[in-house]
Amino acid sequence: MKCHRCGLREASVHWLEMNAGERRSLWLCADCAASREQAPAASEPQVSFLGQGLGSAAAACPGCGTTLEDLRRDNRLGCARCYVTFRSTLLPLLARFHRHISHVGKVPGGVQPTTRLAEITRLRLGLTKAVAAEEFERAATLRDRLRELEDQAGPADGSAR
Amino acid sequence: MSGTLAALAAVDAAWLDGLGPDGDIVLATRARLARNLAGFPFPHRAGPEALATISVDLGRRLRRLPEFVDGFSVDLAACEPRSRQLLREKMLAGDDLLAVPEHRVLVAGPDLSYVALLNGEDHLRLCAWQSGFAPDTALAAALRLDDQLAGAYEPAFSQEQGFLTASPGNVGTGLRLSAVLHLPGLVMADEIDKVLNALRQLEFGVRGLAGEGRTVRGALFRIGNLTTLGRDEAEIAGDFAAHVGKVIVHERAARELLLGRDRRALEDLAWRGRAALANARLLTTHETWDCLSHARLGGGLGLVPAPDWGVFNRLLVRHQGAHLELAAGLRLDGRERSAARADLLREYFAVP
Ligand SMILES: [Zn+2]
Ligand SMILES: [Zn+2]
């Protein structure tokens, strides 16, 4: 389970607190629990913000089938496409956690991968697009080619030692 | 696989040699990069074929890199609990990583300076370790490893959010720098909470290396950056070097303060720690964390004779349960472990 406060790290501490006679139970990560011990008792608890302000309109990610419900539960995205699907939910989260919303730094090199793995990647991406565009004939061709490639996995060349 | 693990158990990581910068206080520094493959769902959403494809193809590719040649490859799904414990003791894996291990493979170089994990929370995590306090060198090594894999796969990357990761907490650079520090001065001077809370305010994660809950054993802490998006790798490393560097300065100051306040008490602590390590016939793990910490502190201040930092570092790993059992070649109960631990430590501390 993820921390109820930051929503990102694994929760390891069970937190019980009394607030105006009401008992509330929180699961926190070690970092949030530590900072909470310092915090004045009246400070406003911040519950998992992925769970905030989300309507019940359960749009599933076309890339992996993850729904807002899953996101709220796991605090984890299902695939790269989720970053597009749940963009409006994610941006405030990123702004809050990282204090930035866009990437600065290394970008992948210009080398075009030519491995079997890269070919599988291209087929998988093409398949997702074909399905989304309802081009079923094309999707079937891609799926066959993908199966063929994935079957050639070959022996898992064992342990290095 | 058992041959692999016995061999792995016997290897002391090169970065435990105690020869790096500020090696009296900082055991080691690690740079980690999180990467995923485009087109595949993240591991917790991916099917077994996808995970197998990644662990087989990328695993093969990794094992051919110079950093990993003649190294180790451990299939976590085939590991018994003790073997997983061994990886944790070596600081190569955390608890999170050891759960749900299907198609999860850990690849490590022969001296454990480079470690790659396939199908953990992300498809690929690359780690480079360095002895002592060396964030820039560790980062450069991790980036070089990442460069060598360009052309091996198509990374999940967007112009806006950078390298895409399963947890939004790692997105962007995917870079986490962390260091393992020995901070007995700050603990004893009762300044540790102040220093660690200041770090938390600055978006660093801090946790004890050993011990349960809020009890930290042996004054060993692991400190790492939490934010990965919006600053480039060099800036993250610069920030890490500046703030963790300050912790090292504070630790040195706290030691001097304690020395000025009550030198005799520090001498007593260090000699008692040293005496237990040199003479005890049964040592529990808790006691050992503390004795090693006190003897190391005393050695650093020149109060007691002490072996070099590399010996301390390697013993911190080797005195733990899975290492003792694999060295003995059999299962040990609690008392037998205490005996084996005391024998191990006497070897290094007993005065001839
Ligand atoms: Zn938290
Ligand atoms: Zn998705």
| Closest ligand, as measured to the CA of A64 | 2
Contact A121 B233 (CB under 8 A): no
Would you say residue A14 has pLDDT above 70? no
Closest CA to B50 of A154, A67, A117: A117
Rounded to an integer, the average pLDDT of A41-45 is: 32
Cα(B207) to ligand 1 centroid in Å equals 13
Residue range B5-256 forms a domain whose CATH class is: alpha beta
Subunit contact B197:A38, Cβ cutoff 8 A: yes
| pLDDT given at position A48 | 43
A146 touches chain B (CB under 8 A): no
Side-chain half-sphere exposure of B128, counting CA atoms within 13 A:
17
Q: For a pLDDT cut of 70, what percent of chain B falls above it?
A: 96
Q: Please, what is the angle between helix B334-349 and helix B321-328, to 10°?
A: 80
B40 CA to chain A: closest CA distance, Å?
7
Asked if residue B241 lies in contact with residue B249, where contact means CB atoms within 8 angstroms, the answer is: no
Helix or strand holding residue B28 (H, E): strand B26-35
**For the residues A29-35, what does the mean pLDDT come to?**
70
Q: Does B159 touch chain A (CB under 8 A)?
A: yes
Q: Report the pLDDT value the prediction gives residue A131, as an integer from 0 to 100.
A: 82
Structure tokens, B192: 């540790």
Domain residue limits, chain B: 5-256, 263-349
Q: Is B97 on the interface with A (CB under 8 A)?
A: no
pLDDT confidence of residue A44: 31
Nearest to B274 by CA among B300, B302, B243, B295: B295
Quote the ligand 2 centre to B42 CA distance (angstroms). Answer: 8
pLDDT band at B99 (very low <50, low <70, confident <90, very high): low
Residue among A71, A1, A159 at smallest CA distance from B99? A1
| Residues ≥6 apart with Cβ < 8 Å to B106 | B72, B73, B74, B76, B87, B92, B93, B115, B116, B117, B118
Whether the CB of B142 is below 8 Å from some CB of chain A: the reply is: no
- How far does residue B161's CA lie from ligand 2's centre (Å)? 15
What pLDDT is attached to residue B37? 96
The structure tokens listed for B49 are: 């074929």
Task: Round to whole Å and give the CA distance between B2 and B55.
Answer: 20
| B120 touches A: beta carbon within 8 Å | no
Q: In the structure, how many helices (H) and strands (E) does chain B have?
A: 13, 10
**DSSP strands (E only) in chain A:** 13-19, 22-28
Q: How many residues does chain B have?
A: 352
pLDDT band at A40; cut points 50, 70, 90: very low
Put residue B12 in one of left, alpha, beta given phi > 0 → left and psi -120 to 50 → alpha: beta
| pLDDT confidence of residue B72 | 94
Least confident range of A47-61, B53-67, B78-92, B184-198: A47-61
According to the model, what pLDDT value does residue A43 have?
32
Question: Which two tokens mark A118?
Answer: 């890269």
Instruction: Give yes or no for B211 touching A (CB within 8 A).
Output: no
ipTM > 0.90 (yes/no): no
pLDDT score at A55: 46
pLDDT tens, residue by residue, B139-163: 999 999 999 998 899 999 999 999 9
Shortest CA gap A84–chain B (Å): 10
Ligand 2 centre to CA of A89 (Å) is 13
> Which tokens belong to A56?
């019940």
Please report which ligand is nearest the Cα atom of A28.
1
pLDDT the model gives residue A154: 53
